[in-house]
Amino acid sequence: MKGFYGASIADIADDLGLTKQALLHHFGSKEKLYGEILKGIAESIICDIIRIRTRVEDPLAQLEALMTGLLERQLSHSDEAQILMRELLDNRARAEQAGNWYLKPFLDSLIAIVRSIPLKEDLTEARALALVYQFLGSINYFVVSEPTLTQMFGKEVHTVMRQEYPRQLRLLIRSRFERG
């Protein structure tokens, strides 16, 4: 994966089996194509959030289910994980000109869940977003590091780590809210 700046329209079109002209005809620009990809990812994740919120009543359990679900989703779609990570963390040049923030409803939903977890004091939006980023950062770092960790520590160690990681993620989430 080359990232937004490393990929050319010609490369993308070639990977899709299209001509550059056909791709530009449908999307107009690389930015619009990228926006549609982000929109699709965000809408899919929002559907997951809605599904979990309707099935799970407790907000802390909702957050755990969403974060472990996001982990599993990203492990099975590592390209998507890299796109999300780059959009949230490596977007300085485009951020000043962005017309649409496709991931904002996803983040707003997570913030709302975090803020609905009963605590001694109410969390501000900024504090809730900081927590959301802590959890997302942990997930993204684990997912994108998978090939490197496998090479460093071996497949057997990484397999055990991959099995253990969801439990550790739930413990991280719970520990943050148990201490307040």
pLDDT tens-digit profile, the chain (180 residues): 566 666 778 877 787 788 888 888 888 887 788 888 888 888 999 999 999 999 999 999 999 999 999 999 999 987 887 787 777 666 666 666 666 778 888 899 999 999 999 987 888 999 999 999 999 989 988 988 888 999 999 999 999 999 999 999 999 999 988 755
Task: DSSP letter for 154, please.
Answer: -
Reference 38, options 107, 110, 129, 136; nearest CA is 107
Query: What range does the domain containing 138 cover?
Result: 31-179
Q: What residue type is assigned to position 77 of the chain? A: H
Question: How many Å apart are CA 21 and CA 68, to the nearest integer?
Answer: 40
Reference 84, options 38, 148, 135; nearest CA is 38
Quick check: 59 and 116 in contact, CB under 8 A?
yes
15 found inside a domain: no
9 found inside a domain: no
CATH code: domain of residue 52: 1.10.357
121 found inside a domain: yes
Quick check: 103 and 38 in contact, CB under 8 A?
yes
Reference 147, options 73, 82, 68, 72; nearest CA is 82
108 found inside a domain: yes
135 found inside a domain: yes
Domain count, the chain: 1
**SS3 category, 176:** helix
For every residue of 73-121, DSSP letters joined together read HHHH-HHHHHHHHHHHHS-HHHHTT-S--TTHHHHHHHHHHHHHS--SS
Question: How many Å apart are CA 112 and CA 95, to the nearest integer?
Answer: 23
8 found inside a domain: no
166 found inside a domain: yes
Task: DSSP letter for 155, please.
Answer: H
22 found inside a domain: no
Task: DSSP letter for 14, please.
Answer: H
